[in-house]
Homo-oligomer: A and B are copies of this chain.
Amino acid sequence: MKYCSSCGSLVDRLVPEGDNRERWVCPECKTVHYQNPLIVVGCIPELDGEILLCKRAIEPRHGYWTVPAGFMELNETIEEGAVRETREEACAEVEIGHLFAAVDVPQAGQLHLFFTAKLIGGHAAGEETLETAMYSFGNIPWDEIAFKSGHFALKKFLEDDGGNKGVHTHTIRP
């Protein structure tokens, strides 16, 4: 951040009065520009003992497999975000189950939330996906999973064995 998005002035880096950490602050219009973590929402679409995975058509991790997930948007809930991402990446409809994994990625400024889900109908590659495929529980391509958070979620999904064992929290450090 270099310029104030409200008035266009050059911003300063300082601790605002009454605050306890440095922020970008506009010396002209006095706006404090807070920067906060982003939410990634996804799900594990399951049907008859198989899981739907997507082979990424974009960087990072082009060519690796992922569960459907992406940045939550304004004006949607976390469940709606997980449904939308599954639609966009895998052209698939799901019925969301329960939230079962929350993975912090502090160095990226992200929180990744994963739901269980039931796949309804078919699937196909969306714009950001090379191909989609169903993998049986015993045949997950563990060495080709794109992200550590998705890897953690898949492991816990299998450990839970269909039950709601609460939310598994985890932090990914560099």
Contact = CB atoms under 8 A, between A and B. Distances in A.
A164 B100 CA distance: 12
B77 A34 contact: no
Contacts of A75: 106-107, 109
A166 B164 CA distance: 6
A61 interface: no
A164 B99 CA distance: 13
A16 interface: no
A39 interface: yes
A21 B72 CA distance: 13
B18 A33 contact: no
By DSSP majority rule, is chain A's interface helix, strand, loop, or mixed? Answer: loop
Chain A, interface residues (CB within 8 Å), range: 35 or more
Contacts of A102: 78, 99, 113
A36 B73 contact: yes
Contacts of A164: 165-166
Interface of A: 1-8, 10-11, 18, 20-21, 33-39, 71-79, 88, 98-100, 102, 104, 106-107, 109, 111, 113, 127, 164-167, 169, 171
9 contacts: A2-B6, A3-B3, A36-B72, A36-B73, A36-B74, A74-B106, A100-B166, A166-B166, A166-B167
Rank and list the top 7 A-B pairs by shortest CB-CB distance, nearest first: A3-B8, A77-B104, A164-B166, A99-B167, A1-B5, A5-B5, A74-B109
